[in-house]
Amino acid sequence: MQVTPQLVKELRERTGAGMMDCKRALVDSEGDVEKAIELLRKRGMATAAKKAGRVAAEGVVSSYIHAGGRIGVLLEVNCETDFVARTDDFQNLVKDLGMHIAASDPRVVSRDEVTDAILERERAIYRDQAVESGKPENVLDRIVEGKIEKFYSESVLMEQPFIKNPEVTVQELVNEVIAKLGENIQVRRFARFKVGEGVEKAAVDFSEEVRAQVAG
């Protein structure tokens, strides 16, 4: 299948990858856009892995405030040079990450930050649930580990489905930008604040409001 400029344009719009990367992926996938997207994601992961050991000490501290001031996020995202930190691609990534954190309420950046105490507590809860539901003993461990993986995907920022495109994780989103900009990028830390959090009152989940606005 011939790789036309229209196909390259479509792939660029869907992935944000560079023109030559898109063209190469389309050639390798014989013009299949979906396969080309998969190739770009895999290559982005490979590029990110190669750059992961490089020092990322530049970047920005940024804030995202949800309309109405009900939810706020403060986060630090690092890259290797101040030049990349000032690019539109990097700034847009940081903005998207702030919006995602506001909407999805992750607990930590990576699974390395989940303590053994938390994992032990979660495993105990999941095992009790499985036993109470009548699951046989020989499948309990498998059920518990499956629920732990789901816990990671719900609680760990880098493993959550990206709010604006649930087909990719936050880590895959970051990898795509790494591949495009050619620098190591690390989400260093974040803090999320919600009005009235910890104060006893009628529960109002403003995260749903953020999700609705992103979807709209």
pLDDT at 42 over 80: no
- Measured in degrees and rounded to the nearest 5, phi and psi for residue 159 equal -105, 0
Q: What integer pLDDT is reported at residue 101 of this predicted model?
A: 97
**What domains does the chain contain, in order, with CATH numbers?**
5-51 (1.10.8.10), 58-110+156-215 (3.30.479.20), 115-152 (1.10.286)
Over residues 162-214, the pLDDT tens digits come to 999 998 899 989 988 988 888 899 999 999 999 888 776 554 555 666 666 66
Average pLDDT, stretch 38-51?
A: 70
> Three-state DSSP class for 17?
coil
Please give the share of the chain, as a percent, with pLDDT higher than 70: 85
> Three-state DSSP class for 159?
helix
Q: What integer pLDDT is reported at residue 40 of this predicted model?
A: 77
pLDDT at 156 over 90: yes
Give the chain's mean pLDDT. 85
Half-sphere exposure of 191 (CA within 13 A, CB side): 4
Over residues 106-146, the pLDDT tens digits come to 999 999 999 999 999 999 999 999 998 888 888 888 899 99
Least confident of 9-13, 62-66, 95-99, 199-203: 199-203
Residue type, 126: Y
Average pLDDT, stretch 62-90?
A: 94
DSSP state of 156: B
Average pLDDT, stretch 148-167?
A: 93
- Return the higher-pLDDT residue of 60 and 24: 60
Q: In the chain, where does DSSP find H-type helix?
A: 5-15, 19-28, 33-51, 82-85, 88-104, 116-132, 140-155, 170-181, 206-215
